[in-house]
């Protein structure tokens, strides 16, 4: 009987010792959160979206001065994957502004003005329009240049006139790329040889619904 009691006492002492060793010591605390971090409010931060890409546009290519260069331009577009193009034609005209003296009803009347022009060192060329005589002085590409010459010769009291001339040189041709062209692909197209010195690439607004 004493032996049984002794064994029970030993068992109780062992249980007590195990319990006291597993209990945290006084003053022991879990590590605190580091300063500057709010654990309750921490969350995953989404990646900020990049800058909105500039809207790509369509292109107008031209002018092409001949049907041959126009055809070559079409082939270049098809070769680079642009099959949907719209062709446009615009009239091509050359404008000039001629300064003439006249009209004169006779060669004698015209000769009197010729002497004045020769004295001033102004070159001219006699011309005949129907029954009227004229002195052709010079042609200019702009109206302001022609008016400037007329103003310089005003002290001579000459019957000077400004005549606007229009000469048709044939049509210009344009190609409009209806597909959306990215800046990268536009750069590739600008490097191509379009076969016409006048041809340039111009951004245009894409057609609605295109």
- The pLDDT value recorded for residue 37 is 40
pLDDT tier at 26, thresholds 50, 70, 90 = very low
Number of H helices, E strands in the chain: 5, 8
Position with higher pLDDT, 10 vs 169:
169
In a domain, 6, yes or no: no
According to DSSP, the residues that pair with 94 across neighbouring strands are 167
* Domain identity same for 196 and 140: no
In a domain, 67, yes or no: yes
Kind plus residue range of the DSSP H or E element containing 142: none
pLDDT beyond 80 at 80: yes
Residue ranges making up the domain that contains 152: 93-168
* Domain identity same for 174 and 164: no
CA distances for 50 relative to 43, 45, 47, 58, 101, angstroms: 21, 15, 9, 24, 69
- Residue % of the chain over a pLDDT of 70: 71
Mean pLDDT (whole number) for 3-23: 59
Per-residue pLDDT tens over the stretch 156-204: 999 999 999 888 777 889 998 877 788 888 888 999 999 998 899 988 8
* Domain identity same for 101 and 131: yes
Position with higher pLDDT, 122 vs 170:
122
* Domain identity same for 125 and 155: yes
Q: β-pairing, 132-140 with 125-129? A: antiparallel
* Domain identity same for 99 and 142: yes
Please name which of 171, 173, 172, 178 lies closest in space to residue 204, comparing C-alpha atoms.
Answer: 178
Averaged pLDDT score across all residues of the chain: 77
* Domain identity same for 88 and 180: yes
Q: How far apart are CA 66 and CA 72, in angstroms?
A: 10
pLDDT beyond 50 at 68: yes
* Domain identity same for 160 and 112: yes
* Domain identity same for 69 and 156: no
Q: The tokens of 208 are what? A: 């609605």
- The pLDDT value recorded for residue 152 is 94
Count of structural domains, the chain: 2
* Domain identity same for 100 and 197: no
In a domain, 26, yes or no: no
CATH number of the domain residue 121 falls in: 3.30.70.1070
pTM flag (> 0.85): no
* Domain identity same for 88 and 178: yes
CATH number of the domain residue 67 falls in: 3.30.70
How many C-beta atoms lie closer than 10 Å to residue 77's C-beta?
Answer: 21
Is the preceding peptide bond at 103 cis, omega within 30 degrees of 0? yes
- Reduced to 3 states (helix: H, G, I; strand: E, B; else coil), residue 67 is helix
Cβ atoms of residues 94 and 164 within 8 Å: no
Cβ atoms of residues 60 and 90 within 8 Å: no
* Domain identity same for 104 and 83: no
* Domain identity same for 176 and 112: no
């Amino acid at each position: 009987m004493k032996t049984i009691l002794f064994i029970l006492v030993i068992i109780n002492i062992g249980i007590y010792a195990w319990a006291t060793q597993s209990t945290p010591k006084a003053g022991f605390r879990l590590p605190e959160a580091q300063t500057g971090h709010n654990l309750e409010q921490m969350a995953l931060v989404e990646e900020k979206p990049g800058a909105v890409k500039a809207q790509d546009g369509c292109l107008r290519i031209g002018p092409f001065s001949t049907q041959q260069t126009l055809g070559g331009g079409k082939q270049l577009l098809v070769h680079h994957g642009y099959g949907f193009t719209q062709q446009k034609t615009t009239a091509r005209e050359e404008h000039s502004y001629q300064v003439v003296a006249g009209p004169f009803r006779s060669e004698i009347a015209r000769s009197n003005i010729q002497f004045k022009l020769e004295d001033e060192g102004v070159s001219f060329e006699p011309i005949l329009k129907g029954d009227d005589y004229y002195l052709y002085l010079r042609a200019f590409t702009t109206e302001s240049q022609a008016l400037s010459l007329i103003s310089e010769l005003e002290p001579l009291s000459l019957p000077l006139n400004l005549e606007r001339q229009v000469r048709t040189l044939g049509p210009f041709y344009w190609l409009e790329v209806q597909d959306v062209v990215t800046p990268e692909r536009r750069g590739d197209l600008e490097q191509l040889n379009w076969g016409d010195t006048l041809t340039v690439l111009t951004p245009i607004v894409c057609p609605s619904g295109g």
